[in-house]
Structure formats: structure tokens, C-alpha cells
Amino acid sequence: MGRALKAVEPENLHVTLKFFAAVEPNVIPEIQGIAAKAAAQQICSQLALTGLGVFPHAQRPNVIWAGVEGAGAESLIAIAEEIEEPLEKLGFVREDRPFTPHLTLARVKARPPEELHELLARHAKTVFETAPVEELELIRSEPGPEGSRYTVLGSFPLAARAT
């Protein structure tokens, strides 16, 4: 779809549970503790990447995403809810809308081609892939001209595999 879209590099695909703007380095250990506790309360499970959509709306998309469903999505929602209160106590603004897990696939940089609307309609309910949810990572994102650079600041395993 040409220059109108900038795909997320495969190694950078992730589900964002909470976005922090600037974070003081001395607060990172507290965030790590909150993340570790929330992760330990959930079990490893599978999620399904299902359907394509856009934010904020089809007439003016900024982001193209795949939906996230299944037990893994439920775990992600539970973690997102679990971390809100303790992070608010640290001074981070509470989200004002419910968390909806999604995987950002591309960013729209210019007017997208008409084929995008057809693609979205054709794959609105398509199940693309399943993937395990096994850990929560705290990641630093540093924007740059070639795209964001990610650094893992902590990795926190979920409790155990579901049987």
C-alpha cells in the first residue's frame, strides 16, 4: 500500500497494556514490582489474532490493528486492570476508557489507498494466528527516524501454563 503505510517490524510487534510518557529512572523498580505481581496472578494461555480494524475510525485511520481474543486476551485485560490503581498511586494517569487488547500492525502516514477499506471489510472477522501469552515485559520505547527502538527493562512470567 505504498508510502501511505508504515508496517511495524515483526520483531517489534507487541500488545501495549499501558503507555507511559516520560518515566523517572528511580520509579522503574516500582513499576517492575507492579508488573511482576500482576503477571504472577495470571496463567499462561493462548490468544487469537482475529480481525482487522483501524483507530480512530475508517474515514481517517491512523493505526491498523489486529484484534486479540481468547483466554490470553482475558489475561491481558486482567493485567491491565490490575496495574491501574498502583500505577495511579505512583502518579500515572488512570486510563479513562476500558482496555481493548490489539496488535498494532501499521501506522498510516498519508491518505491510504481505497484498497484498505476492502481489505478491512474482507478480514473483519478473519482468525489469523494464535500465540501464547507467557510473560509481561516492561519496555522502553525510543522514537527515531527509522522507527521506534525498544529496550526490555524487565520480563515477568505469568504464573503457569493452563492445563
Residue 102 among the catalytic residues: yes
The sign of the torsion formed by the CA atoms of 16, 19, 24, 30 equals: negative
Q: Is 14 known to be catalytic? A: yes
**Which among 49, 63, 60 is positioned nearest to 6, based on CA atoms?**
63
Nearest to 15 by CA among 92, 67, 86, 85: 67
Q: Are 50 and 67 in contact (CB under 8 A)?
A: yes
Q: CA–CA separation, 36 vs 31, rounded Å?
A: 9
CA 68 to each of CA 18, 37, 52, 113, 140: distance values in angstroms, whole numbers, following the listed order: 16, 23, 10, 25, 22
Burial of 121-148, coded b for 16+ CB within 10 Å and e otherwise, reads: eeeeeeeeeebebbebebeeeeeeeeee
3-class state of residue 125 by DSSP? coil
Residue from 57, 102, 117, 123 carrying the catalytic annotation: 102
Q: Enumerate the active-site residues.
A: 14, 102
